C-alpha cells in the first residue's frame, strides 16, 4: 500500500539493491491467508483435468524462463548454478 514501510533486498555478492518490498503487517497477513483459503476452495472445486492443465502450463512457463530464473537464483545465493 502507498506509504507502507519497505525493506531492501540486496545481492549478497555486490550489495546492490535488487528490490524494495513492503513490510507486511499482521493485518496484511490475515487478509492474505483469508484470500488463500477462498482461492483454495475454488481451486479444489475444479475438475482434476483442469487443475492438471494449469499445473502443466505452469511447468512449461518455468522451463521457458529457466535461464532467467537460474540467473536470479545465482544473484541471490552468490554462487554459480550450472544451467
pLDDT of residue 80: 58
pLDDT band, very low/low/confident/very high, at 14 (cuts 50, 70, 90): confident
Nine-digit cell string for 50: 483442469
pLDDT of residue 65: 96
Question: What are 17-27's pLDDT values in tens digits?
Answer: 888 999 999 99
Of 75 and 23, the structure prediction assigns the larger pLDDT to: 23
Contact 23, 7 (CB under 8 A): yes
Question: What are 20-70's pLDDT values in tens digits?
Answer: 999 999 999 999 999 999 999 999 999 999 999 999 999 999 999 999 988
Alpha helices per DSSP H over the chain: 26-44, 48-64, 66-77
d(CA 24, CA 62): 27
| Torsion (CA) 20, 24, 28, 30 in degrees, nearest 10 | 140
Amino acid at each position: 500500500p502507498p506509504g507502507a514501510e519497505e525493506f531492501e533486498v540486496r545481492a549478497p555478492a555486490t550489495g546492490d539493491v535488487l528490490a524494495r518490498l513492503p513490510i507486511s503487517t499482521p493485518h496484511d497477513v490475515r487478509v492474505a491467508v483469508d484470500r488463500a483459503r477462498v482461492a483454495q476452495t475454488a481451486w479444489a472445486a475444479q475438475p482434476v483435468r483442469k487443475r492438471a492443465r494449469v499445473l502443466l502450463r505452469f511447468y512449461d512457463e518455468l522451463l521457458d524462463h529457466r535461464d532467467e530464473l537460474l540467473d536470479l537464483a545465482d544473484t541471490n545465493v552468490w554462487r554459480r548454478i550450472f544451467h
